[in-house]
């Protein structure tokens, strides 16, 4: 069961492990769910033959789950992230269930990363930095293993959020690109996500 199955608010913490092995990824998913009371947000193969698992729950449970996952993942670990006090906009963004109300967007931000884990952490920073709306993000599916986030707001808010999100990805050396488009054409939104 995933967090979307519940009528309660999204869990306060999440963790993600990105792996180089699909088989090990399935093993890690099972281990993470057995060791702690967490909800499975996502567990799937991603491009280029990688695997990702994301769990959510109370902070201590997520921490225990991530610790077990990293131990089982061992040499197959590519990247990890744990976020406590997750911004509520993160879950719909990473699961592509956001409401696309973009007709009044003053600016469009696109943040692109070589890593799923670094982008998920950046999504949280972007959401917390300024008043922006998440359009959604894609996590390594048909992207050669890359991930990207799209968000809107006024130019100043998008700029502030972009700086915060890009900093997270740049610190890991995984930034592909970052773009802010002021006053985007409405036709552009039909091609997004």
Handedness of CA 173, 112, 159, 137 (dihedral sign): negative
Distance CA 36, CA 18 (A): 19
Distance CA 58, CA 61 (A): 5
Say what the pTM is. Answer: 0.76
As given in the structure block, the two tokens for residue 22 are 């699909």
Tell whether domain 90-189 is in CATH 3.40.640.10: no
Tell whether domain 3-84 is in CATH 3.30.70.1710: yes
Start and end residues for every CATH 3.30.70.1710 domain found in the chain:
3-84, 90-189
Model confidence pLDDT, tens digit, residues 30-82: 999 999 999 999 898 888 888 999 999 999 999 999 999 999 999 999 999 99
pLDDT of 3 reads 46
Model confidence pLDDT, tens digit, residues 159-186: 999 999 999 999 998 899 999 999 887 7
């Amino acid at each position: 069961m995933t967090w979307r199955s519940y009528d309660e608010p999204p869990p306060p913490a999440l963790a993600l492990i990105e792996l180089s092995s699909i088989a090990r990824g399935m093993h890690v998913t099972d281990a993470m769910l057995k060791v702690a009371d967490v909800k499975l947000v996502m567990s799937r193969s991603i491009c280029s033959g990688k695997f990702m698992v994301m769990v959510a729950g109370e902070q201590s449970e997520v921490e225990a789950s991530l610790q077990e996952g990293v131990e089982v993942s061992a040499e197959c670990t590519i990247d990890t992230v744990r976020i406590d006090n997750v911004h509520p906009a993160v879950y719909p963004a990473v699961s592509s269930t956001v409401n696309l109300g973009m007709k009044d967007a003053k600016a469009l931000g696109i943040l692109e990363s070589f890593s799923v884990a670094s982008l998920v952490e950046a999504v949280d920073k972007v959401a917390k930095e300024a008043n922006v709306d998440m359009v959604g993000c894609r996590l390594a599916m048909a992207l050669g293993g890359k991930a990207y986030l799209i968000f809107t707001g006024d130019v100043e808010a998008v700029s502030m959020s972009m700086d915060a999100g890009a900093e997270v990805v740049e610190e890991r050396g995984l930034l592909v690109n970052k773009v802010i488009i002021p006053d985007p054409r409405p036709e552009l939104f039909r091609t997004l996500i």
